[in-house]
Amino acid sequence: MPTRKIHLKSFGCQMNKLDSSLVVGALGEQGYELTDTPEAADVIVVNTCSVRENAENRVFSNLGHFKYLKKSNPNLRVAVIGCMAQRLGDELLAHEAVDIVAGPAQLHEVPALIAEAMGDHDKHLSVSEKIRQPAASQQVITDSHKLDDFELAHDTDANHIKSQAFIRAMRGCNNFCTYCIVPFVRGPEVSRPPEAILKQAKKLVDQGIQQVTLLGQTVNSYQYKAGEKSYRLADLLGQVSDIGGIGWVRFITSHPGRFDTSILQVMASNPKVCPYLHIPAQSGSDRILKAMNRGYTAAEYIDLMDTARAIVPDIAIAGDFIVGFPGETDEDFEATVDLVRRVRYKNAFVFKYSPRPDTHSEKKLEDNVGDEIKQQRNAKLLEVISEISAEDNERFLGKEVEVLVEGLSKKPHLNQEKSGHPQLIGRTAGDYIVVFNGPKSLTGRFANVKITQTAPLTLFAAPRPSTA
Ligand code: SF4
């Protein structure tokens, strides 16, 4: 029988990328092969994101194309999974292109749903009912156990850089930031048992993985009680870094509220725990932070960043910001610029506010900052962030840094003739991107390189002539 082909479209965060790679891994074990061309696929899996309107619009535009493909290939099956699947459920299933809709908590069911849909022409729906209701809590735990089994059973690195893997530490979020859909589609926080995480990490390290990233929407909230002992993220980082053969351990994303400084202590004392903190502030205005329900003030956030730098002097801090939140004045925005100048991020992402259906801000707050102003604030903040990165990156000039080499850069031919090697890309423990010419055989390995030039987002290093 010819091999069946699967085409994957994955939108959104790292959590979605992990889910996508698990589904691809599970289907690969059933004989499916990945294809880059939807026209060649027997099954198309679209893993969706609801965090921004733009991501949802792109899903609908893809579905429009798949509807057209189904006319010439009636056996094609299309599965829509992820946050949008949970949010829209039946509405999405009614789309002509769609055969399967499955929410994030039903990830483990996707291979079976695809098998069923291949055998019939029915539509299949599997999403969580009342995901945030107390009555659903037992269901959340049951789903979580099933997801744990699914994660342990299937390889996750097939779709990733070979030397690196992502492991979920926890699911869901309890924070209810007023603009965010995540708590409504991913459900309440559930931390995975440390044994499951360690078992998965060990398996991956035995397969040659050098770096493990622990994932959670608010990963610093990780908490797992086993008898008398309560495990927090700092414990987990220590235990994962003890696995023989592991290189580096990272974690994303942190929430500034309830941030436990023991995480910073582990970072300072354990060279395997990378000195990198992705910790979105979202705004520098207390008024806007309150309206966002972020649970901290700008001064508290800055204090935490000062503490982080006092404990881990070389820590690299990355952030996220939303500009144009309802009611954001010029003064509020200037407070955000001030916070950015004060914290000096390694890099930060900036998003223009867009209301998400069913969130508090969509229901109760007027989206009253015009598009043009949002665009201006977005550009200004990015400019300030870039200026700061450009200045701060100069300190690397002439220094030797250790990188984990990811493979060929986007422009592998650059300087290839002169150096005799393609251009490679790697990252430092602080997550700084470094490009340099060197043998491709360095991929997946650690290498020391000397920085010769810097830019806001990239460091450039001298060629590495050999792998010795
Ligand atoms: S912390 Fe806030 S922004 Fe982050 S996932 Fe939870 S609700 Fe959304």
Specify the pLDDT at position 421: 95
At 354, list the tokens. 């867009």
pLDDT at 3: 86
Q: What is the mean pLDDT of residues 97-120?
A: 93
The predicted model gives 369-394 an average pLDDT of 98
pLDDT in tens, 275-303: 999 999 999 999 999 999 999 999 999 99
What is the model's pLDDT at position 140?
67
pLDDT for residue 138: 65
Going by C-alpha positions, the residue among 246, 225, 134 that lies closest to residue 187 is 134
Contacts of 129 (CB under 8 A, 6+ apart): 136, 139
What integer is the mean pLDDT of 373-398? 98
pLDDT of residue 162: 72
Structure confidence by residue, pLDDT tens digits, 150-160: 887 776 544 45
- The Cα–Cα gap between 39 and 5 comes to 10
Look-up of token digits 């201006």 = 376
At residue 156, the pLDDT reads 58
Q: Are 169 and 215 in contact (CB under 8 A)?
A: yes
For every residue of 16-66, DSSP letters joined together read HHHHHHHHHHHHHHTT-EE-S-GGG-SEEEEEE--SSHHHHHHHHHHHHHH
Q: Does the pLDDT at position 163 exceed 90?
A: no
pLDDT in the model for residue 149: 83
* Mean pLDDT computed over every residue of the chain: 92
* Ligand 1 centroid, distance to 293 Cα (angstroms): 10
For residues 227 and 241, the model is more confident at 241
Pick the closest to residue 41 from 16, 17, 9, 64 (CA basis).
Answer: 9
CATH architecture of the domain with residue range 156-395: Alpha-Beta Horseshoe (3.80)
156-395 has the same fold as 5-127: no
> Which residue out of 15, 178, 217, 358 has the highest number of ligand 1 atoms within 8 Å of its CB and is therefore the one to mutate?
217
- pLDDT recorded at residue 159: 43
| pLDDT surpassing 50 at residue 135 | no
| Whole-number pLDDT of residue 152 | 79
For residues 65 and 464, the model is more confident at 65
Nearest residue to 204 (alpha-carbon basis) of 154, 239, 169: 154
Q: What is the mean pLDDT of residues 100-117?
A: 93
Handedness of CA 373, 374, 379, 383 (dihedral sign): positive
Structure tokens at 167: 């492991």
Report DSSP letters for 172-183, one per residue: ------TT--HH
Burial of residue 394, with CB atoms counted within 10 A of its CB: 0-12 exposed, 13-18 middle, 19 or more buried:
exposed
**What's the gap in Å between 170 CA and the centre of ligand 1?**
13
Taking the centre of ligand 1 as the mean of its atom positions, its distance from the CA of residue 97, in whole angstroms, is: 31
Extents of the domains making up the chain: 5-127, 156-395, 397-461
- CATH fold, domain 5-127, is Rossmann fold (3.40.50)
Distance from Cα 175 to the centre of ligand 1, integer Å = 6
Q: Tell me the fold of 397-461.
A: OB fold (Dihydrolipoamide Acetyltransferase, E2P) (2.40.50)
Which residue spans within 257-399 are E strands per DSSP? 276-278, 316-323, 347-352
Contact call for residues 373 and 412 (beta carbons, < 8 A): no
Who contacts 280 (Cβ-Cβ below 8 Å, separation ≥6)?
Answer: 253, 255, 256, 319, 320, 321
161 band by pLDDT with thresholds 50, 70 and 90: low
Reported as type and span, the H/E element at residue 224 is: strand 223-226
> 415 CA to middle of ligand 1, Å?
43
Q: From ligand 1's centre to the CA of 244, what distance in Å?
A: 34
C-alpha of residue 187 to centroid of ligand 1, in Å: 11
Ligand 1, atom 1, lies closest to the CA of 175
Best of 51, 170, 180, 185 for a ligand 1 pocket test (most atoms within 8 Å of beta carbon): 180
Closest ligand 1 atom to Cα of 174 = 6
442-466 burial, b at 16+ Cβ within 10 Å, e below that, comes to bbbebbebebeebebeebbbebbee
d(CA 281, CA 296): 9
**Which protein residues touch ligand 1 with a CB less than 6 Å away?**
173, 175-177, 180, 182-183, 217-218, 255
Q: Which atom of ligand 1 is nearest to the CA of 293?
A: 2
pLDDT, residue 134, reads: 53
Q: Which residue has the higher pLDDT, 247 or 120?
A: 247
To test the ligand 1 pocket, which listed residue (170, 173, 184) has its Cβ within 8 A of the most ligand atoms? 173
